[in-house]
């Protein structure tokens, strides 16, 4: 990659840059004032669709449920021409094989959570095994969770080493590192965790498991995008971003795209570098697309759920 440094020096994570919460929230709210209309809205909505990781992560998941989700992933709305597919389907490792079979022939990726998702409270050995299993079953991407307990106890080296080990266990699969920002609680900590994750080898940093409130918010995503930007300028290396949980409306998803567009710019505006972790967002986007086409407000009855 042009510009990537040959040797990247790892900083002292205790010195991570400061973040002012009030300032972040003001900047984040300014993105929501952008008015996205007409052609830019349609383009944006299609881009959003292509960035969705369609997700099911419930204790009660069954092969049947996963098969239906995968079908929905491939057929968002068959009577609307020119729709992209979602970026990926995200499931538990035990469901990867089913998903792989159902998505055969499509370009949709299979992302698997791993490392004792969602709590991450398990010995590193177990987490590595979990990862290797998911990869061997066919996962293209692994969404791991960091050890929040260790992080909050100040054991940054442990957290770093664990991520590096999981990255190794991923092999060819791309690694998304979930920070669980709702548990980290301050933006300073989110910034620090982002830096640790990127330097340790993450391909993506991700806000949440979706199991803890608050999940993704615009301010927390902004902090992470700015971490990615600083990392890029320091090392020449691009890192992806995935806000997950709490994004179920198209309008909000478009605000996120505006934020991405104005913080990282054009190169990140595709699903190789940005994802939405969402389940009900897709249908809302489809409703908006149909409304833009027909000029008429839609009802959920006309859009099949998975």
Partner 1 sequence: MDLQKVVSSLQLAREKRVSYIASNLKESQMSTATKKNKKVSSNNNGVPKLKFNSGWEYAPAPESKSHIKLKGRYDLFINGKFVKPSSGKYFETINPATEEPIAEIAEANIADVDKAVKAARNAYEKVWKKTRAAERAKYIFRLSRMIQERAREFAVIETVDGGKTIRESRDVDIPLAANHFFYYAGWADKLEYAFPGRVPSSLGVAGQIIPWNFPLLMAAWKIAPALATGNTVILKPAETTPLTALKLAEIVQESGLPEGVVNIITGFGQTGADIVNHPDIDKIAFTGSTEVGKIIQKAVAGTNKKITLELGGKAANIIFEDAPLDQAVEGIINGIYFNQGHVCCAGSRLFVQESVYNIVLRKLKDRMETLIVGDPLDKNTDIGAINSKTQLNTINKYVSIGKKEGAEIYQSSCPIPDKGFFFRPTLFTNVAQSNRIAQEEIFGPVLAVQTFRTDEEVIEKANNTPYGLSAGVWTDKGSKIFNLTTKMRAGVVWANTYNKFDPTSPFGGYKESGFGREGGLHGLSAYLKV
- Distance of closest approach, residue 267 Cβ to partner 1, in angstroms: 6
- As a whole number of angstroms, the distance between CA 189 and CA 205 comes to 14
Element containing residue 127 per DSSP (H, E): helix 124-137
**Per the residue annotation, which of 127, 132, 167, 242 is the catalytic one?**
242
Element containing residue 52 per DSSP (H, E): strand 52-55
**Per the residue annotation, which of 143, 203, 284, 306 is the catalytic one?**
143
Q: Which one of 140-148, 174-182, 207-215, 230-238 is the stretch in contact with partner 1 (CB under 8 A)?
A: 230-238
- As a whole number of angstroms, the distance between CA 204 and CA 90 comes to 15
Residue of the chain from 229, 249, 292, 304 that contacts partner 1 (CB under 8 A): 229
Q: Which one of 55-63, 111-119, 155-163, 229-237 is the stretch in contact with partner 1 (CB under 8 A)?
A: 229-237
- As a whole number of angstroms, the distance between CA 242 and CA 137 comes to 23
242 as an active site residue: the answer is yes
Residue of the chain from 19, 96, 175, 239 that contacts partner 1 (CB under 8 A): 19
3-class SS shares of the chain: helix, strand, coil, % to 5: 50, 10, 40
143 as an active site residue: the answer is yes
Write the DSSP assignment of 227-276 as a string of letters. Answer: HHHHHHHHHS---EEE-BSS---HHHHHHHHHHHHHHT-GGG-STTTB-E
Q: What is the CA radius of gyration of the chain?
A: 19
Say if residues 90 and 134 touch (Cβ distance below 8 Å). no
Q: Is 74 in the site for partner 1 (CB under 8 A)?
A: no
> Measuring CA to CA, how many Å separate 114 from each of 7, 126, 132, 289?
30, 10, 9, 34
**Per the residue annotation, which of 53, 72, 206, 284 is the catalytic one?**
206
- As a whole number of angstroms, the distance between CA 9 and CA 29 comes to 34
Task: Looking at residues 264 to 293 of the shown chain, list those that interact with partner 1 (rule: CB under 8 A).
Answer: 264-267, 269
- Distance of closest approach, residue 242 Cβ to partner 1, in angstroms: 19
- Distance of closest approach, residue 163 Cβ to partner 1, in angstroms: 18
Q: Which one of 28-36, 76-84, 119-127, 166-174 is the stretch in contact with partner 1 (CB under 8 A)?
A: 28-36
Cβ nearer to partner 1, comparing 14 with 60? 14
Q: Which residues bind partner 1 (CB under 8 A)?
A: 2-3, 5-9, 11, 17-20, 22-24, 26-27, 33-41, 43-44, 47, 226, 229, 232-236, 257, 261-262, 264-267, 269
Catalytic residues: 143, 206, 242
């Amino acid at each position: 990659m042009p510009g990537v440094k040959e040797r990247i020096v790892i900083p002292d994570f205790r010195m991570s840059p400061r973040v002012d919460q009030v300032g972040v929230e003001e900047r984040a709210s300014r993105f929501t004032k952008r008015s996205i209309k007409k052609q830019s809205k349609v383009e944006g909505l299609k881009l959003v669709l292509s960035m969705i990781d369609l997700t099911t992560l419930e204790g009660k998941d069954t092969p049947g449920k996963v098969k239906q989700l995968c079908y929905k992933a491939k057929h968002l709305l068959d009577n609307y021409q020119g729709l992209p597919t979602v970026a990926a389907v995200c499931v538990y490792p035990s469901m990867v094989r089913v998903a792989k079979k159902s998505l055969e022939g499509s370009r949709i990726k299979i992302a698997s959570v791993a490392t004792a998702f969602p709590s991450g409270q398990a010995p590193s050995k177990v987490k590595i095994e979990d990862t290797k299993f998911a990869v061997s079953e066919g996962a293209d991407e692994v969404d791991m969770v960091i050890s929040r307990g260790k992080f909050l106890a100040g054991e940054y080296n442990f957290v770093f080493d664990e991520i590096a080990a999981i990255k190794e266990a991923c092999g060819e699969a791309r690694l998304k590192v979930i920070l669980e920002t709702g548990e980290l609680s301050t933006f300073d900590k989110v910034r620090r965790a982002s830096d640790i994750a990127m330097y340790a080898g993450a391909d993506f940093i991700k806000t949440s498991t979706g199991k803890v409130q608050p999940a993704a918010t615009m301010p927390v995503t902004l902090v992470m995008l700015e971490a990615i930007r600083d990392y890029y300028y320091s090392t020449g290396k691009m890192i992806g971003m995935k806000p997950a949980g709490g994004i179920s409306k198209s309008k909000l998803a478009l605000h996120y795209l505006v934020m991405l567009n104005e913080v990282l710019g054009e190169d990140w505006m595709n699903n190789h570098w940005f994802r939405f972790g969402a389940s009900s967002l897709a249908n809302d986007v489809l409703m908006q697309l149909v409304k833009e086409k027909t000029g008429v407000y839609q009802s959920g009855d006309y859009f099949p759920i998975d």
